[in-house]
């Protein structure tokens, strides 16, 4: 697996905006150090060079939306010792999972001039629906420092040190006044996985949960609170149905309010 003593790192892309893998190139200060520590074996966004697997760590961005991709992910799994999903697309189906609530076939055949040219699945699904995943890094996009930490951890065969708490905790840590309590702005912070550093509340807006659900999150209680604040069912559907729409907890909650509406 190692060549010249260096572990092979690969980056693979499925349906996505490329933002999460761009986060690697956005580690300007660490980039050359990372490149020195590993052999970048497959990273088409950055290099023409392709080195065959097996790879010690594969970073996978994007969700599965085509029959071809549903097969390709199995090959990647077989070639990878550790498979890490990066971002909301790979971890929770991404923004493109909004299609899951509509009939893709209908708009393919109704609106497309040449539907037969298009090969697509009804649903956009996370990587873990298809193959076992060793670690899921959340965020749309991922936080680049967390990404470096995860990489570091797998290359050194330890567990990544990523806090499992909520965005609320991050607000407290940075000393931001709660936007929900002080300004009555609906905020998904209480149920959202930490990682961004609570950016939105510090800009006077509610969290829209680009990092997705935190572990054991109480979506019901928060939805109830939102209703007391005057939000209606269809607004709750939209809140829970965005960048992590396919994440179990959010999916259940959005479907519940859709039925109720």
Q: Which residues sit at the interface with other proteins, rule CB under 8 A?
A: 13-23, 25-26, 28-29, 31-32, 35, 40, 43-49, 65-66, 69, 94-96, 98-99, 101-102, 104, 107, 111-114, 117-118, 120, 140-141, 196, 199-200, 202-205, 208, 210, 238, 242-243
- What DSSP element (H or E) covers 9? strand 7-13
Residue 12's φ and ψ, nearest 5 degrees, are -120, 150
* Beta strand ranges found along 165-232 (DSSP E): none
Give the integer Cα–Cα distance in Å for 178 and 102.
35
Count of residues touching ligand SF4 (by CB under 6 A): 23
Give the integer Cα–Cα distance in Å for 19 and 225.
33
**Nearest distance, CB of residue 219 and ligand SF4, angstroms:** 15
Neighbours of 38 (CB within 10 A): 18
Please pick, from the candidates 133, 167, 179, 191, the single residue that binds ligand SF4 as defined by CB under 6 A: 167
Please pick, from the candidates 196, 222, 239, 247, the single residue that binds ligand SF4 as defined by CB under 6 A: 196
**Nearest distance, CB of residue 140 and ligand SF4, angstroms:** 3
Q: Which residues contact 260 (CB under 8 A, 6 or more apart)?
A: 233
User: SS3 of 40, please?
Assistant: strand
The smaller minimum CB distance to ligand SF4, of residues 200 and 236, is found at 200
Please pick, from the candidates 76, 148, 198, 239, the single residue that binds ligand SF4 as defined by CB under 6 A: 198
Q: Binding segment for ligand SF4 among 108-116, 177-185, 203-211, 226-234 (CB under 6 A)?
A: 203-211
Contact 253, 219 (CB under 8 A): yes
Could you tell me which of 80, 73, 72 has the C-alpha nearest to residue 55?
80
Could you tell me which of 217, 212, 167 has the C-alpha nearest to residue 189?
167
Give the integer Cα–Cα distance in Å for 34 and 40.
9
Contact 4, 36 (CB under 8 A): no
Q: Diameter of the chain by CA atoms?
A: 62
Q: Is 94 in the site for ligand SF4 (CB under 6 A)?
A: yes
Q: Select the binding partner of residue 247 from ligand SF4, other proteins, none (C-beta < 5 to 8 A, by kind).
A: none
Please pick, from the candidates 24, 140, 223, 247, the single residue that binds ligand SF4 as defined by CB under 6 A: 140
Q: Is 61 in the site for ligand SF4 (CB under 6 A)?
A: yes
**Nearest distance, CB of residue 77 and other proteins, angstroms:** 19
**Nearest distance, CB of residue 157 and ligand SF4, angstroms:** 26
List of residues contacting ligand SF4 (CB under 6 A): 16-17, 19-20, 61, 87-89, 94-95, 140-141, 167, 192, 196, 198-200, 207-211
């Amino acid at each position: 697996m190692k060549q010249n003593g260096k572990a092979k790192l690969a980056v693979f892309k499925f349906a996505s905006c490329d933002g999460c893998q761009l986060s690697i190139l956005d580690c300007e200060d660490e980039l050359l150090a990372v490149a020195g520590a590993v052999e970048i074996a497959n990273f088409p966004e950055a290099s023409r060079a392709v080195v065959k697997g097996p790879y010690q760590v594969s970073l996978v961005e994007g969700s599965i939306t085509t029959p071809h991709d549903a097969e390709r992910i199995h090959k990647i799994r077989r070639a990878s010792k550790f498979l890490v999903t990066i971002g909301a697309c790979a971890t929770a189906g991404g923004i493109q999972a909004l299609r899951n609530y509509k009939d893709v076939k209908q708009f393919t055949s109704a609106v497309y001039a040449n539907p037969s040219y298009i090969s697509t699945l009804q649903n956009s699904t996370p990587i873990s629906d298809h193959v076992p995943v060793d670690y899921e890094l959340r965020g749309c996009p991922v936080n680049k420092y967390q990404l470096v930490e995860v990489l570091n951890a797998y290359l050194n065969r330890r567990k990544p040190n990523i806090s499992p708490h909520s965005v609320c905790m991050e607000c407290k840590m940075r000393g931001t006044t709660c936007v929900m309590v002080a300004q009555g702005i609906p905020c998904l912070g209480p149920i959202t996985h930490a990682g961004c550093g609570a950016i939105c509340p510090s800009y006077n807006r509610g969290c829209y949960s680009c990092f997705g659900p935190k572990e054991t999150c109480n979506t019901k209680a928060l939805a109830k609170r939102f209703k007391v604040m005057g939000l209606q069912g269809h607004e709750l559907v939209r809140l829970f149905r965005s960048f992590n729409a396919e994440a179990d907890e959010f999916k259940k909650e959005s479907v519940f309010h859709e039925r109720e509406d």
